[in-house]
Amino acid sequence: GDSVTQMEGPVTLSEEAFLTINCTYTATGYPSLFWYVQYPGEGLQLLLKATKADDKGSNKGFEATYRKETTSFHLEKGSVQVSDSAVYFCALSEGETSGSRLTFGEGTQLTVNP
Protein backbone atom coordinates (compact mmCIF):
# COMPACT_ATOMS: atom_id res chain seq x y z
CA GLY A 1 0.00 0.00 0.00
CA ASP A 2 0.86 3.66 -0.08
CA SER A 3 3.21 5.06 2.53
CA VAL A 4 5.13 8.24 3.36
CA THR A 5 8.35 8.41 5.35
CA GLN A 6 9.63 11.64 6.86
CA MET A 7 12.91 12.40 8.52
CA GLU A 8 12.82 11.92 12.24
CA GLY A 9 12.43 14.96 14.40
CA PRO A 10 12.36 17.12 16.27
CA VAL A 11 14.37 19.67 14.35
CA THR A 12 15.70 22.75 16.12
CA LEU A 13 17.18 25.66 14.17
CA SER A 14 18.23 29.22 14.77
CA GLU A 15 16.41 32.01 13.00
CA GLU A 16 17.61 32.56 9.38
CA ALA A 17 19.04 29.03 9.12
CA PHE A 18 18.41 26.81 6.09
CA LEU A 19 15.74 24.15 6.48
CA THR A 20 15.43 20.75 4.84
CA ILE A 21 12.86 18.15 5.88
CA ASN A 22 13.19 14.92 3.94
CA CYS A 23 10.19 13.03 2.62
CA THR A 24 10.09 9.86 0.54
CA TYR A 25 7.05 7.93 -0.60
CA THR A 26 5.84 4.58 -1.87
CA ALA A 27 2.85 4.50 -4.18
CA THR A 28 1.40 2.18 -6.80
CA GLY A 29 0.41 4.90 -9.25
CA TYR A 30 1.28 8.51 -9.91
CA PRO A 31 0.32 10.39 -6.76
CA SER A 32 -0.06 14.05 -6.02
CA LEU A 33 2.23 15.19 -3.21
CA PHE A 34 1.54 17.69 -0.44
CA TRP A 35 3.11 19.40 2.53
CA TYR A 36 0.76 20.36 5.35
CA VAL A 37 1.63 22.45 8.42
CA GLN A 38 0.00 22.21 11.84
CA TYR A 39 0.44 25.05 14.31
CA PRO A 40 -0.16 24.33 18.02
CA GLY A 41 -3.83 23.73 18.79
CA GLU A 42 -4.91 24.09 15.17
CA GLY A 43 -5.92 21.89 12.28
CA LEU A 44 -3.78 21.19 9.25
CA GLN A 45 -3.18 23.82 6.58
CA LEU A 46 -1.98 23.07 3.09
CA LEU A 47 1.47 24.59 2.62
CA LEU A 48 2.23 23.51 -0.95
CA LYS A 49 1.57 20.77 -3.47
CA ALA A 50 2.82 19.20 -6.69
CA THR A 51 0.75 17.02 -8.98
CA LYS A 52 3.27 15.55 -11.41
CA ALA A 53 6.94 14.71 -11.73
CA ASP A 54 9.39 17.66 -11.75
CA ASP A 55 6.70 20.08 -10.55
CA LYS A 56 7.87 22.50 -7.88
CA GLY A 57 5.40 23.61 -5.24
CA SER A 58 6.13 26.84 -3.39
CA ASN A 59 4.50 29.04 -0.78
CA LYS A 60 5.65 31.48 1.92
CA GLY A 61 9.30 30.86 1.05
CA PHE A 62 8.95 27.08 1.27
CA GLU A 63 9.67 24.89 -1.77
CA ALA A 64 9.49 21.21 -2.65
CA THR A 65 10.14 19.44 -5.96
CA TYR A 66 8.40 16.23 -7.02
CA ARG A 67 11.24 13.80 -7.84
CA LYS A 68 9.83 10.64 -9.37
CA GLU A 69 13.23 9.01 -9.89
CA THR A 70 14.03 9.17 -6.18
CA THR A 71 10.37 9.08 -5.00
CA SER A 72 11.04 12.15 -2.89
CA PHE A 73 9.42 15.49 -2.05
CA HIS A 74 11.83 17.24 0.31
CA LEU A 75 10.73 20.51 1.93
CA GLU A 76 13.19 23.43 1.92
CA LYS A 77 13.31 27.02 3.08
CA GLY A 78 16.29 29.29 2.76
CA SER A 79 15.80 31.33 5.92
CA VAL A 80 13.45 30.17 8.67
CA GLN A 81 11.65 32.44 11.11
CA VAL A 82 10.42 31.87 14.65
CA SER A 83 6.87 31.90 13.26
CA ASP A 84 7.69 28.78 11.19
CA SER A 85 7.75 26.70 14.36
CA ALA A 86 5.13 23.99 13.80
CA VAL A 87 4.70 20.35 12.82
CA TYR A 88 5.14 19.62 9.11
CA PHE A 89 3.46 16.65 7.42
CA CYS A 90 4.27 15.20 4.03
CA ALA A 91 1.32 13.48 2.35
CA LEU A 92 0.26 11.85 -0.89
CA SER A 93 -3.00 11.24 -2.68
CA GLU A 94 -3.47 8.78 -5.48
CA GLY A 95 -6.72 10.29 -6.69
CA GLU A 96 -8.32 7.81 -9.02
CA THR A 97 -6.95 4.74 -7.29
CA SER A 98 -7.77 5.71 -3.72
CA GLY A 99 -10.66 8.13 -3.90
CA SER A 100 -8.42 11.10 -3.15
CA ARG A 101 -7.74 10.26 0.49
CA LEU A 102 -4.48 11.53 1.94
CA THR A 103 -1.77 9.24 3.31
CA PHE A 104 0.41 11.15 5.78
CA GLY A 105 3.88 10.75 7.15
CA GLU A 106 4.40 10.90 10.89
CA GLY A 107 5.25 14.58 10.96
CA THR A 108 8.38 16.55 11.80
CA GLN A 109 8.35 19.02 14.69
CA LEU A 110 10.28 22.19 13.83
CA THR A 111 11.36 24.67 16.49
CA VAL A 112 13.04 27.90 15.43
CA ASN A 113 14.85 29.86 18.12
CA PRO A 114 15.47 33.62 17.93
Partner 1 sequence: EAEVAQSPRYKITEKSQAVAFWCDPISGHATLYWYRQILGQGPELLVQFQDESVVDDSQLPKDRFSAERLKGVDSTLKIQPAELGDSAMYLCASSFSRKGNSYEQYFGPGTRLTVT
Binding residues (CB under 8 A) for partner 1: these are 4, 31-32, 36, 41-46, 49, 51, 89, 91, 93-96, 98-102, 104-107
Nearer to partner 1, 99 or 114 (CB): 99
Closest contact distance (angstroms) between CB of 99 and partner 1 is 5
Nearer to partner 1, 19 or 48 (CB): 48
Q: Tell me the residue ranges of DSSP E strands in the chain.
A: 3-6, 11-14, 19-21, 23-26, 32-38, 44-50, 56-59, 62-65, 75-77, 86-93, 102-104, 108-113
Q: CA–CA separation, 103 vs 33, rounded Å?
A: 10
Closest contact distance (angstroms) between CB of 103 and partner 1 is 8
Nearer to partner 1, 56 or 101 (CB): 101
Closest contact distance (angstroms) between CB of 76 and partner 1 is 20
